[in-house]
Amino acid sequence: MKRVLGAALVLLVVCSVSVFARGSSDDGAIKIAMMPKFKGENYFDAVKIGAEECVAELNKNGKVVFIGCEISANTFLHFLEDSSGAKFLSAAIVKIKEPDGRLRTEMIPRHLPGHRDFYRRDALNGKFYQRAVERGLEIRTAALGAGKATVMELRQLYDIGMRLIKDDPRILLCDDPDCQFCSKF
Ligand SMILES: [Zn+2]
């Protein structure tokens, strides 16, 4: 199960700027959980660590923090896809680099193919975030240098997101009839 979960979160690599921070940790330390690009060459295993920490932070007032990037890079939504058994996930063959440099072939049972509605640059105006905010999701932003930081409560995002997916299994897909991926589901 652990392997499946981690494998399904391969897109963590794409949005490596997302971090989880402890909301009420004793030492105030910020734990960066999703930086696979910077953990060495074996990013697949690094991604699995990210997924494990993602689950752990759910129960510890974790937050998802976007620093200098848009919420369209929210890989946690793929975690919701995996958790809800989304039908549009499919198997993929990957090469995993071992510490000694050898490549191992493995199958990811639920990989993350295709397009999503929340990939749009104005993701806040997309289906998922619009409905999530209507149901109480708080999205806080603050200026940070020349850019901005955006914060969401992980537990809130998980609970609201899972309910939204249950009500509308296509909520994370776009409605463009010309979209070669989303129109298949
Ligand atoms: Zn689409």
State in Å: Cα 38 to ligand 1 middle. Answer: 30
* pLDDT the model gives residue 28: 52
Residues above pLDDT 70, as percent of the chain: 71
State in Å: Cα 119 to ligand 1 middle. Answer: 9
* pLDDT the model gives residue 90: 83
- To the nearest 10°, the Cα dihedral for 55, 21, 13, 180? 70
State in Å: Cα 177 to ligand 1 middle. Answer: 8
Indicate the average pLDDT of the chain: 76
Q: What is the DSSP string of 8-39?
A: TTGGGGTTTTEEEEESS-SS-PPPP---GGGS
**Where does the pLDDT of residue 79 fall: very low under 50, low under 70, confident under 90, or very high at 90 and above?**
confident
* pLDDT the model gives residue 21: 41
State in Å: Cα 181 to ligand 1 middle. Answer: 6
What global pTM score does this model have? 0.73
* pLDDT the model gives residue 61: 83
